[in-house]
C-alpha cells in the first residue's frame, strides 16, 4: 500500500480532442492548447492544467499503443495518474495488492520516473509518477464514479485513490469543479 500519494491527472482517450473540448467549453473550464506528442503518437489537450489532477484528453494520431487501445476498447478512461515521492519503494509496497506492473514500465521508469500498473478487469491503467514533492493545489477532478466491480475498492485504496474514486454499477461519471459530467457524453 502506498503511504504517500496524490491524485494527478485523469486521462480520457477520445476520437477527437477538439470535439471533447467543445463539449466541456460551455462549463467555463480552462481548456489548454492542443499539443502533438510525436513519440506517443497522440494529440492532447489538458483541461485546467494548473490545478492538481487536471483532465487530459488524448486522441491517437498514428499507429501505436494509444491507437491500439482505441481500436480494442473504444473511447473511454485510459489512465488515472498519481504522484508519489519514491517510485521503487512505493511500487514495492504494492506487492500482494493485486496491481501488476505493466512491462512498459521498464522503459518509462528509466526515461521519466513513471511506472504503469494494470489489473485485468480494472477499467484503466494507473500511471505512477515520481515527484520531488506532492502538490497541495485545489483538485479539478473532484470525484470519479467508476463503473467497475465493487471489489475494485481495495485496489483503489492500495494506491491512495479511495477518496477521489468510488466504484459504481451505473455509468461512469466525473465531478469537475462541482459540475457533474457523464463520461459517455464527453467521449461521444
Ligand atoms: Fe498521463
Per-residue pLDDT tens digits for 130-166: 999 998 888 999 999 999 999 999 999 999 999 999 9
Distance (Å) from CA 27 to ligand 1 centroid:
23
Distance (Å) from CA 153 to ligand 1 centroid:
22
Tell me, what's the pLDDT at 137? 87
Mean pLDDT of 20-45: 96
Is residue 58 over pLDDT 90?
yes
Tell me, what's the pLDDT at 14? 98
Distance (Å) from CA 120 to ligand 1 centroid:
19
Is residue 50 over pLDDT 90?
no
Domains and CATH numbers, the chain: 5-138 (3.10.180.10)
Tell me, what's the pLDDT at 184? 97
- What is the rounded CA–CA span in Å between residue 165 and residue 171? 13
Tell me, what's the pLDDT at 141? 97
Residues in the chain: 188
Cell of 30: 480552462
Distance (Å) from CA 35 to ligand 1 centroid:
14
Mean pLDDT of 69-73: 94
Mean pLDDT of 168-186: 97
Instruction: Identify any residues that bridge with 118 across adjacent strands, giving them in sequence order.
Output: 100
* Residues 86 and 42 sit within 8 Å (Cβ to Cβ): no
Tell me, what's the pLDDT at 118? 97
- What is the rounded CA–CA span in Å between residue 184 and residue 173? 8
User: What are the tens digits of pLDDT across the range 93-119?
Assistant: 999 999 999 999 999 999 999 999 999
- Report the percent of the chain where pLDDT is more than 70: 100
Is residue 79 over pLDDT 90?
yes
DSSP annotation of 106 reads: H
Distance (Å) from CA 91 to ligand 1 centroid:
17
Q: Residues with Cβ within 5 Å of ion ligand 1? A: 11, 81, 127
Is residue 51 over pLDDT 90?
no
Tell me, what's the pLDDT at 52? 83
Amino acid at each position: 500500500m502506498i503511504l504517500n500519494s496524490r491524485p494527478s491527472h485523469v486521462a480520457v482517450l477520445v476520437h477527437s480532442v477538439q470535439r471533447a473540448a467543445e463539449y466541456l467549453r460551455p462549463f467555463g473550464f480552462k481548456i489548454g492548447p492542443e499539443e502533438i506528442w510525436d513519440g506517443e503518437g497522440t494529440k492532447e489537450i489538458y483541461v485546467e492544467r494548473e490545478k492538481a489532477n487536471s483532465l487530459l484528453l488524448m486522441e491517437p494520431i498514428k499507429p501505436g499503443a494509444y491507437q491500439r487501445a482505441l481500436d480494442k476498447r473504444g473511447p473511454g478512461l485510459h489512465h488515472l495518474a498519481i504522484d508519489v515521492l519514491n517510485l521503487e519503494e512505493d511500487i514495492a509496497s504494492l506487492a500482494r495488492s493485486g496491481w501488476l506492473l505493466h512491462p512498459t514500465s521498464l522503459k518509462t521508469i528509466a526515461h521519466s520516473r513513471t511506472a504503469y500498473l494494470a489489473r485485468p478487469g480494472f477499467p484503466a491503467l494507473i500511471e505512477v509518477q515520481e515527484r520531488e514533492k506532492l502538490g497541495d493545489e485545489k483538485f479539478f477532478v473532484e470525484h470519479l464514479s467508476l463503473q467497475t466491480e465493487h471489489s475494485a475498492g481495495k485496489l483503489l485504496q492500495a494506491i491512495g485513490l479511495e477518496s477521489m474514486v468510488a466504484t459504481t454499477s451505473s455509468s461512469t461519471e466525473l465531478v469537475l469543479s462541482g459540475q457533474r459530467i457523464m463520461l459517455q457524453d464527453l467521449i461521444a
